[in-house]
Amino acid sequence: MRVGVVGTGIMGAPMARNLLRAGHAVTVHNRSPGRVAPLVEAGATAAASPRDVARGVEAVVVSVPDTPDVEAVVAGPDGILAGARAGLLVVDTSTIAPRAARMLAERAAAGGVAMLDAPVSGGEQGAIAGTLSIMVGGERAAFEQAAPIFAAIGRTATYMGGPGQGQMTKLVNQVVGAATLAAVAEGVLLGARAGLEPAALIEAIGGGAATSWMWTHLGPRMQRRDFAPGFMVRLQQKDLRLALAAAAEAGAPVPLTTLVHELFAAVEVRGGGGLGTQAIVTALEARAPA
């Protein structure tokens, strides 16, 4: 396919590379042009704007940080819809408000453009390895049309229903993941204060019912004080704000999510918004007696 990628940051760049490796012709755009150059060297074509990307491709993958960014990239005056022809497919892999995803899909459909909300889970390493989990909302026919794209960037793509349902699924993912991460941080801190050998602790818990991806991947990074971002605290906070708003709208109590949001806020207050989410352990350490 001729595929465009708008947004070539931590997630978008490796997705573009995997599309190239799968044999697709890839056109890329990023508002910071420096991020595009390595992809052009790898075989992609650069475009000056999202509108220019849309003019020459069959599908556009969007990977930008937040709801206003997606709205600008898709529906802005120089956005994808401004350059789109009927039949274009837009696949938004960002995490945004479900309500906004539904509104953008409706606006795209008015111009004959199919739009899928397809947020991903797996972080930077999943994007690099092409093993992302993709949660998809939109029309079933568009989901089937996007199959070659999903095969290139992910391990699984699950159809969740109409527009906005992919985003709602991602918010459920973030609620579960954030609470699990906080529990991992508590366990790592308790183990350290109790004098347990770090590697043995990871192995022991990793072999039982309490294991998780968070425990096996981020637990050791907490122990090593490695807070380099795979997924940044400030982006997690954005997702949790979306989840809290969606929960309030649905009438679903999420007290653990509220607590985790407060813990991440404590990390941000100390200048840790750009750290990886495993830095949540520092918020617990700050509460611990010396």
Residue 172, Cβ neighbours under 10 Å: how many?
15
CA distance 36 to 237: 27
Q: Is 141 exposed, middle or buried (0-12, 13-18, 19+ CB in 10 A)?
A: exposed
Using DSSP's 3-state secondary structure scheme, residue 7 falls into: coil
The three-point CA angle 227-270-238 to 5° equals 75
Which one from 17, 24, 170, 234 is the annotated catalytic residue?
170
Whether 170 is catalytic: yes
107-133: b (≥16 Cβ within 10 Å) or e: ebeeeebbbbbbbbbbbbebbbebebb
Helices (H), the chain: 12-21, 37-41, 50-55, 67-75, 80-83, 98-110, 123-129, 140-145, 147-153, 165-193, 198-206, 213, 219-224, 233-250, 255-269, 280-287
Classify residue 209 by its DSSP letter.
Answer: T
Helix (H) or strand (E) holding 273: none
Upper half-sphere CA count for residue 29 (Cβ side, 13 Å):
23
The DSSP code sequence of 12-53 is: HHHHHHHHHHTT-EEEEE-SSGGGTHHHHHTT-EE-SSHHHH
Whether the Cβ atoms of residue 20 and residue 3 lie closer than 8 Å to each other: no
Tokens of 151: 């095969």
Active site residues: 170
